[in-house]
Amino acid sequence: MVNLLGLSAVCIASLNVLSTLGLLTTNSKPTRTILCAALFGLTGGFQYGFTTWYQNRMHRGLAASILWAYLLSAVELLLISDVNLKDAPNPKSNNALSGKNIKWAFFLVWNFRRIGTKWQVRNVPSFGTSASDGKPPSQGEFVRKRLLIVVIASLFLDGMTAGPPPDMEMFSEHKQYLTLSQLSQFDAEEVITRVILTMTIALNAALPILITYYATSIILVITGLSLPAEFPQLYGAILKCYSVRRFWGNLWHQWLRWGLTAIATSINSSLAIPRTSNLYRVSMLLSVFFISGCIHQLSDLAIGIPQSESNGFYFFMMQPLAIIFEDTFESVYFRPCAHLVLAARETYRSRSGFIFVG
């Protein structure tokens, strides 16, 4: 047990050290490739050690997800964007490993959305609900609001997990799929059960990540290591997710967006697919959800779901098909609405979109 704990600690420390050194000390592509291979091995080692000795399944899945996301971030910085010492705060310093540069490199890899940098992702949620109150709050206001959210989310999560264990029949294989033959057996109780089950699974996945992100932001802001502006909301507004594309881009994939899209773009560029072609758009979708599906599959394994019963990867590989269908449907179905004013057209589109996403 102690050895596995030590393995986990060594792996996570080595991940941070190697990625920081890689950003500041070498521009060599072969060297950085070797570093990324080492980071991959360390991430796998952490998952093995941590999931073997640690018993809490939710925490195991959370740790695995975050560490694989960290690997994506490091690979993107080291191999794709080719970030190096020239991008650091003191690029001309005689000491590349100055405290300021080390802090910059360390936090940059953990800054999955690249907030406050020239690589910041699009559609980052603002701090407020309107342009007037969207500016970053003061330190005190930031800490109070984030602390309240952490407490409420933690209590809500405890409430969901404190009850009796669910009936495993709800998670049986025939419940995971919906076929045409099952539609005739549907009743109100079945619909309500499936909706509640889906929401429970979604919240159990989203809340631990949100709590971790907000708790970390509180600590860093209180200690003065970061500013409130560096920690906008983690997820986008759910009311704006009236399409499958918007749901993934603005909500769930918001914190993975840069790593996923940058790596997918690199893959498709190497295939020399014209960027303006439909093939490029389809290939980008497949690449992004393939990578995301792999991460979520590894998270399922960390939780303890057997490989034979984990369908997360297949679920994610279905999302490009849903988006392609959605884009095709919108281009045909909403073309007759072109004569409507923008507000009316968007209302019509969003209402029908929520039905499809649901």
Q: Return the ∠ at Cα 144 (arms to 57 and 211), rounded to 5°.
A: 15
Q: What is the pLDDT of residue 143?
A: 94
Label residues 141-177 b or e (16+ Cβ within 10 Å = b).
ebbeebeebbeebeeebeeeeeeeeeeeeeeeeeeee
Same domain membership, residue 294 and residue 223: no
In a domain, 132, yes or no: yes
How many CA atoms lie within 13 Å of 102's alpha carbon, on the beta-carbon side?
8
Q: What's the pLDDT score for residue 346?
A: 53
Q: What pLDDT is recorded for position 222?
A: 95
Residues 255 and 320 in one domain: yes
In a domain, 321, yes or no: yes
Residue 115 lies in a domain: no
Average confidence (pLDDT) over 231-248: 82
Last residue of a domain, one of 110, 140, 159: 110
Is the same domain home to 84 and 40? yes
The structural domain count of the chain equals: 3
Q: Are 316 and 332 in contact (CB under 8 A)?
A: no
Same domain, residue pair 187 and 278: no
pLDDT digits (tens, 9 = 90+) for 259-278: 888 899 999 888 888 888 88
Out of 90-94, 138-142, 249-253, pick the least confident: 90-94
* Boundary of a domain, candidates 110, 143, 166: 110
Same domain, 191 and 267: no
Same domain for 253 and 185?
no
In a domain, 146, yes or no: yes
Q: In the chain, helix, strand, coil percent, each to 5? A: 75, 0, 25
292 lies in a domain? Answer: yes
121 lies in some domain: no
Does one domain contain both 32 and 49? yes
pLDDT in the model for residue 104: 92
Cβ atoms 207, 156 nearer than 8 A? yes
* Structural domain for 274, as ranges: 238-358
- Number of Cα atoms under 13 Å in the Cβ half of residue 63: 23
Residue 224 lies in a domain: yes
pLDDT at 341: 44
The answer to whether residue 116 sits within a structural domain is no
Contacts of residue 106, defined as CB under 8 A and 6 or more positions apart, other chains included, come to: 16, 20
pLDDT in tens, 302-335: 888 887 777 788 889 999 998 988 888 777 765 5
Domain boundary among 86, 110, 134: 110
